[in-house]
Amino acid sequence: MEFEQILFYVFSFWLIASSLAMVFSRNTAFSALFLILSFFSTASLWLLLEAEFLAITLILVYVGAVMVLFLFVIKMLDINDSTLRAKFTRYLPIGIGVAVVIIGEMSLVLGSSQFGLAEVSEPIRHAADYSNITELAKELYTTYVYPFELAAVLLLIAIISAITLIHRVDSRAKKQSITEQVNTRAEDRVRLVSISSPNDGRRNNDNS
């Protein structure tokens, strides 16, 4: 067997194993960690498929940011695991049954008779100085520049919405209201009062 094939089978084994473990794990934190493992396996597979940039991005963005976020939330919220396991086994058979059937059918569709070597030819192996990122950039900034910009806007919206959802106004905090400050009028702040002064304004009683 080729080295590639060995790699493929190892990585796919770990992928499937860790995803199964994630689904069946009792501890939520363990599930998250198993998911991280599956992402690593996926990234390795993508390296095999000559998509280095995306593999690294997967690790950096997904595992580095998204999964860390997951772990934050898991540790922040007090999850009582013991009471949550009660109904697990009731739906196990039917869930597995449906999943197996879907896999079977999809295999029939995606099997070698449709997508095997006879239909899809061997891929072109690139040379060692092949830069995936350059190729990606060539496509991204020319043909797909519009969706690129839109993706940026999407991220902005996500930021805003996330903040808006969570933000709690603390009524005890003292804040400035800039609008009010700018809209004040003189008469709200200053009042001129006339007071009669003793001795007609002079300091002492004599007339000098």
Partner 1 sequence: MMGGETMITLSDYLILSAIVFCIGLAGIFINRTNIITLLMCVELMLAAVNTNFIAFSYFMGDQAGQIFVFFVLTVAAAEVAIGLGILTLVFRNKGSINIDVTNNLRG
Partner 2 sequence: MTMENIYLTIALSPLIGAMIAGFFGGILGRKVTHTIAIVGVLISTALSFYVFDTHVLNNGDIFNKNIYTWMQIGSLNVSVGFLIDNLTSVMLVVVSFVSLMVHIYTIGYMDDDNGYTKFFSYISLFTFAMFMLIMSNNFMQLFFGWEAVGLVSYLLIGFWHHKESAVEANLKAFLVNRVGDFGFLLGIALVLMYFGSLDYIEVFSDLSVINGVDIFDQVSVITTICILLFIGAMGKSAQVPLHVWLPGSMEGPTPISALIHAATMVTAGIFMVSRMSPMFELSDVALTVVMLIGAITALFMGLLGIVQNDIKRVVAYSTLSQLGYMTVALGVSAYSVAIFHLMTHAFFKALLFLAAGSVIVAMHHEQDIRNMGGLYKKMPITYATSLIGTLALIGFPGFSGFYSKDMIIEAVHYSSLPYTDLVYYAVVVGVFITAFYSLRMFFIVFHGESRVDKHTEEHLKESTSSITFPLIALAIPSVVIGYITIEPMLFAGWLDNAIMVSPRHSSMSELSSEFHGAASMISHALQTVPFWMMVAGIVSAWLFSIYKTAWADSIKKRFHRIYYILDSLYGFDRFNEIVFVNGVKKLGNLLWKVSDMGLIDSIVVNGSAKMVRFFGSVVRPIQTGYVYHYAFLMIFSLLIILTWVLFAGNSPQLKIDF
Q: Enumerate binding residues for partner 2 (CB under 8 A).
A: 95, 98, 101-102, 105-106, 108-109
List, as one string, the DSSP characters of 163-199: HHHH----TTS----HHHHHT--HHHH------PPGG
CA 148 to chain centre: 17
Q: Is residue 35 within 8 Å of 67, Cβ to Cβ?
A: yes
> Binding to partner 1 by residue 64, rule CB under 8 A?
no
Pairs from 126-132 (Cβ < 8 Å, separation ≥ 24): 126/50, 130/50, 132/50, 132/51, 132/52, 132/53, 132/54
Name the one range near partner 1 by CB under 8 A: 161-169, 174-182, 185-193, 195-203.
Answer: 161-169
Select 69 or 102, whichever has its Cβ closest to partner 2.
102
The Cα 146–Cα 139 span in angstroms is: 12
> Binding to partner 1 by residue 81, rule CB under 8 A?
yes
> Binding to partner 1 by residue 63, rule CB under 8 A?
no
Select 99 or 202, whichever has its Cβ closest to partner 1.
99
Select 76 or 94, whichever has its Cβ closest to partner 2.
94
Which amino acid is present at 133?
A: I
Select 159 or 202, whichever has its Cβ closest to partner 1.
159
186 binds, among partner 2, partner 1, none (CB under 5 to 8 A by kind): none
> Binding to partner 1 by residue 68, rule CB under 8 A?
no
Q: Minimal CA–CA distance to 42: which of 5, 71, 17? A: 17
> Binding to partner 1 by residue 10, rule CB under 8 A?
no
List, as one string, the DSSP characters of 21-37: HHHH-SSHHHHHHHHHH
Alpha helices by DSSP H, the chain: 3-24, 28-48, 52-57, 68-76, 92-110, 112-115, 132-140, 145-166, 178-182, 186-189
Select 102 or 202, whichever has its Cβ closest to partner 1.
102
**Which parts of 97-116 interact with partner 1 (CB under 8 A)?**
98-100, 102-103, 106-107, 110-112, 114-116
> Binding to partner 1 by residue 59, rule CB under 8 A?
no
The Cα 95–Cα 5 span in angstroms is: 31
In whole angstroms, the minimum distance from the beta carbon of 67 to partner 2 comes to 22
108 binds, among partner 1, partner 2, none (CB under 5 to 8 A by kind): partner 2
Name the one range near partner 1 by CB under 8 A: 72-80, 170-178, 186-194, 195-203.
Answer: 72-80
> Binding to partner 1 by residue 171, rule CB under 8 A?
no
